[in-house]
Amino acid sequence: MANSLSNTALTFTRSLFQPEKQCSLSVLTQKFQPASPRILDQLSTRRLTPPPAVSKTKEALSSIIHELEREESTAKNKQRNERELADCWSEMLGEDDWAGLLDPMDPLLRNELIRYGVMAQACYDAFDFDPYSKYCGSCRFTRREFFERLGMAEAGYDITRYLYATSNINLPNFFKNSRWPKVWSKNANWIGYIAVSNDETSKKLGRRDICVAWRGTVTRLEWVADLMDFLRPISSDKIPSPDPTVRVESGFLDLYTDKDESCKYCKFSAREQILTEVNRLINEVYPKEEVSVTITGHSLGGASALLSAYDIVETGINVRGDSRAVPVCVFTFAGPRVGNARFKARLELLGVKVLRVVNVHDVVPKSPGLLVNEKAHPLVIKMAENFPWSYVHVGVELALDHKNSPFLRHDGDLVCAHNLEAHLHLLDGYHGRGERFRLNGRDYALVNKDCDFLKDEFEIPPNWRQDHNKGMVKNKEGRWVQQERAVHDDHPADMHHHLNKLGLPSNNI
């Protein structure tokens, strides 16, 4: 009834602008009163008592229309809030490319974006980046205690596998290594995890969700300088592609496909780890359930998320025996460009849905591809698509501006503008273009967890997240020593079996 009333009121007020309706408001009032007295009551509450000629009241009437449209939008948002995620999860995963969900911002989609952003943020919070720790470059927790130790017991997911990559590639500033001689691994870094929603959470989500979370850089941006800015065919690393002109950035491809067979943790590439585990979960563990694959990552982790999504769908492991395709969706935060125009076209053809959340003041989403990118004329993109420096962003972009937040300093450095917690803060307060920034409950203090971005008036110290005593504990003799940690799982014993099932040869038998 409220929506009907609002729509009728809009019709009434808009009619005042029609040329044939150039008469006084009092005449129109008499005309409309028998049919819609409540609308006139609604108009009278806005203090529109009989004005002079309509031509002199257009500004006031335009204001009414704007207000009624906002009320209509508020009513729609209320209806959206009352929806159950289980009934519209495919819409949240981009079934219609998020049409009508970004402006104004759909509350359910905002919650989902923040939820997956938190899953990516967990990679940072759990990562040991202290060069004085013999566990530097690893995860600080075992996968069974991961969420609980991070205060995320309510996440509703169980980690089935940790992901590792070799540091012997051309992105040295992405990796962290200990300065001590005796370390957990000399050549490996922990780069994320694969988790599956538990029964209770799956019921709320409307499906069993397989989440792949990629770690990005920790705080610094030096890795951007490591980009070779060189595109090479994705098929050159044995990733299937019927189109040899599909090209991606060389360093990203190395991170995803390289391995070190002499290393316990990276004797299988990140690619092999992800494909085998996602295939096992889809086709062996949950073959009869409704399943989704949602991949998330921040910064360089966003680039890895795109590559793994492409690989999962191009390889076809998301297609079940009855030809049903499991939807694959990517949510990236502050991600760089990854490939050329053919990479974008191929991803779209394969049906991979991508939503990119960016801060317009962040430099990372603007690189690589400073010379030729998606903003160039289509003819220029077409002419340059085979060159090694022609990059195009993929998917739908949600552009946020940290200057719209009253909590953040406008003079924050490049690291602040790139920070993931800052992106989640901006998401929490975003309601649509031109709408006032209003937080929905996420604690703004989280922004300063690993940076100095909040205004001083809020009295939140910068970089406040610290490890207790930097991991030092007293042993039985009363000496302070580095706390020992449980040995992490490396790879399943039957890894080669799963690789062979996918037609991926393995030398690790």
Spot the catalytic one: 178, 185, 250, 299.
299
* pLDDT, tens digit, 9 for 90 and up, residues 428-447: 999 999 999 999 999 999 99
* Residue that wins the pLDDT comparison between 413 and 207: 207
Decide if pLDDT at 244 tops 80: yes
Decide if pLDDT at 324 tops 70: yes
Contact 189, 178 (CB under 8 A): no
Environment class of 277 (CB within 10 Å of its CB; exposed 0-12, middle 13-18, buried 19+): buried
Query: What pLDDT is stored for residue 49 in this prediction?
Result: 46
Confidence of residue 82 (pLDDT cuts 50, 70, 90): low
Whether 459 is covered by a domain: the verdict is no
Could you tell me if 364 and 475 lie in one domain?
Answer: yes
Q: What is the CATH number of the domain that holds 282?
A: 3.40.50.1820
Whether 437 is covered by a domain: the verdict is no
Decide if pLDDT at 32 tops 50: no
Query: What pLDDT is stored for residue 322 in this prediction?
Result: 86
Whether 423 is covered by a domain: the verdict is no
Confidence of residue 371 (pLDDT cuts 50, 70, 90): confident
Domain closes at, from 31, 46, 81: 81
Whether 425 is covered by a domain: the verdict is no
Could you tell me if 20 and 165 lie in one domain?
Answer: no
Confidence of residue 34 (pLDDT cuts 50, 70, 90): very low
Whether 493 is covered by a domain: the verdict is yes
CA nearest neighbour of 14 among 84, 72, 99, 74: 72
418 is catalytic: yes
Whether 130 is covered by a domain: the verdict is yes
Confidence of residue 507 (pLDDT cuts 50, 70, 90): low
Domain closes at, from 81, 115, 135: 81
CA atoms within 13 A on the CB side of 501: 14
Cα–Cα distance between 264 and 508 in angstroms, integer? 11
Could you tell me if 71 and 129 lie in one domain?
Answer: no
304 is catalytic: no
Query: What pLDDT is stored for residue 147 in this prediction?
Result: 97
Q: Report the SS3 class of residue 441.
A: coil
Decide if pLDDT at 456 tops 60: yes
Cα–Cα distance between 345 and 201 in angstroms, integer? 34
Spot the catalytic one: 298, 418, 425, 496.
418
Could you tell me if 182 and 77 lie in one domain?
Answer: no
Could you tell me if 107 and 64 lie in one domain?
Answer: no
Could you tell me if 49 and 179 lie in one domain?
Answer: no
Cα–Cα distance between 38 and 408 in angstroms, integer? 44
Could you tell me if 184 and 42 lie in one domain?
Answer: no
Contact 123, 215 (CB under 8 A): yes
Query: What pLDDT is stored for residue 5 in this prediction?
Result: 46
Decide if pLDDT at 462 tops 80: yes
Could you tell me if 30 and 120 lie in one domain?
Answer: no
Whether 409 is covered by a domain: the verdict is no
498 is catalytic: no
The domain of 13 spans 2-81
Number of structural domains, the chain? 2
Segment 65-84 mean pLDDT: 62
Could you tell me if 60 and 139 lie in one domain?
Answer: no
Could you tell me if 45 and 108 lie in one domain?
Answer: no
Cα–Cα distance between 430 and 107 in angstroms, integer? 10
Angstrom distances, CA of residue 28 to CA of 11, 35, 39: 12, 12, 12
CA atoms within 13 A on the CB side of 89: 20
Cα–Cα distance between 498 and 492 in angstroms, integer? 10
Could you tell me if 42 and 149 lie in one domain?
Answer: no
Q: Report the SS3 class of residue 150.
A: coil
Contact 320, 346 (CB under 8 A): no
Query: What pLDDT is stored for residue 36 in this prediction?
Result: 45
* Residue that wins the pLDDT comparison between 303 and 237: 303
Q: Report the SS3 class of residue 175.
A: coil
Whether 195 is covered by a domain: the verdict is yes
Contact 372, 380 (CB under 8 A): yes
Domain closes at, from 81, 114, 141: 81
Query: What pLDDT is stored for residue 440 in this prediction?
Result: 95
> Whole-prediction pTM value?
0.82
β-pair type (231-233, 247-249): antiparallel
Cα–Cα distance between 410 and 412 in angstroms, integer? 6
Contact 178, 136 (CB under 8 A): yes
Give me the amino acid identity at 505: P
CA nearest neighbour of 294 among 413, 210, 177, 369: 210
Spot the catalytic one: 125, 130, 254, 362.
362
* Beta strand extents in 60-172 (DSSP E only): 157-166
Could you tell me if 53 and 173 lie in one domain?
Answer: no
